[in-house]
Structure 1
């Protein structure tokens, strides 16, 4: 009877060929490492070198471990006189067996990235950078991916920065027949720039928090993204403003979708109140992480001083 496997496990199994070159075996006693399959000679899998003829020609079973290939303190093919190319290849690949014979430690599997020395630790970032070309670092990443962010807000903000949302101007460019007018204000065509920077409805929400800090953001959306990274010299206020701005973008997009698909609407004041409740709870969590700071400089005190009105 065939045992069903989860989708995750099946997906991982499909990555075996991709991961195999990274796995090397630091041979010890040879009782664990597969002779034919593991990369224990630094030349890769011996089965890939010799093909299926390797086990057949040499007489060593395909499931044999390295220890089983040693007979009388030497490789089992040591005395072979055959000129078969597979036998010759194996003799040239195999190291001195004496270190394996005398070893009392088990084989150890390591992770090697490129030409770097093998290591017992695994780094997903180093592995990713080795597999894929690293794109140039963007100048706005710290405005989106910062410590303390709310993940769903940061993710949507990232999509907005990349201009990947299905705003009406993009939908029309795809050939979809929709009215171009902004559903929030009804005064201009819906674009990223209009929806998140120029729309009167959206500006009322964002400006509530900026005006509370006595600040005025740039009029262009991408300029605001760069500016929001550090609009003041107060690190607490900077984080609060980034959280408030991302939360504003999130509720604006949610309200836009609600009006477009369910024809229900809320006033801007209702969205501001929703953001206030959300961020007030977030400030409480962040303040608990500031146990060693005076109560007058915590996130919660900064929030109450400027934004909780």
Structure 2
């Protein structure tokens, strides 16, 4: 009950129409955080929801990469499974790894973009800029959301039967 004391002044509700109701109490209690700049391209209307969700997790750096799994005691080796050079971190997986960097390059080339991305933060910064047209922007953003989804090691890759498979250094994408 002490939580509500800040919302009252001499038994009078200080917010809204000075009459307490549940909606006004909830609005007063909840934490108002600013919207992150990358939410609009992730929750794009053309995106498949599971791709948006995986990209959202990746932006918060919560993908179960091998370094996180090692930290949790689930595995003993945190090396990237593709090239076994570096630890598989979120930064490595999205787009420092040779495989994901090549996938990003091929996607940019296919979309006619003169851009290279070395991290998710760089991609998110680029996505907030206005792109060519509204629909084309949605398509480009959806393609990059799909790329993040496909590069994620937890993603089951057998559900993309309609997609053209890209060959990158002998590996399929």
Task: Using structure 2 for the length normalisation, give the TM-score.
Answer: 0.69
Aligned to 2:148: 249
Report the structure number with the largest CA radius of gyration. 1
2:128 to 216, 219, 229: 229
Aligned to 1:195: 93
Aligned to 1:116: 17
Structure 2: how far apart are the matches of 1:159 and 1:127?
30
How many residues are paired up?
155
Instruction: Give a deviation string over 1:155-206, Cα, whole Å, max 9, x none.
Output: 1111111111111122223344431111133332101111110122222322
Task: Using structure 1 for the length normalisation, give the TM-score.
Answer: 0.41
Structure 1: how far apart are the matches of 2:25 and 2:132?
37
Output the aligned Cα RMSD. 3.8
2:80 to 163, 166, 182: 182
Which 4+ runs in 1 deviate beyond 4 A? Answer: none
Aligned to 2:57: 159
Structure 2: how far apart are the matches of 1:144 and 1:184?
26
| Structure ranking higher on relative contact order (CA contacts 8 Å, 6+ apart) | 2
Structure 1: tracts of 5 or more residues without a match: 1-42, 44-113, 260-264, 276-309
Is residue 114 of structure 2 the alignment partner of residue 215 of structure 1? Answer: yes
Structure 2: tracts of 5 or more residues without a match: 1-10, 167-173
Question: Residue 177 and residue 133 in structure 1: after superposition, are their counterparts in 2 closer, same or farther (change >3 A)?
Answer: same
**CA contact 1:180–1:190 (8 Å) conserved in 2:** yes
**CA contact 2:55–2:149 (8 Å) conserved in 1:** yes
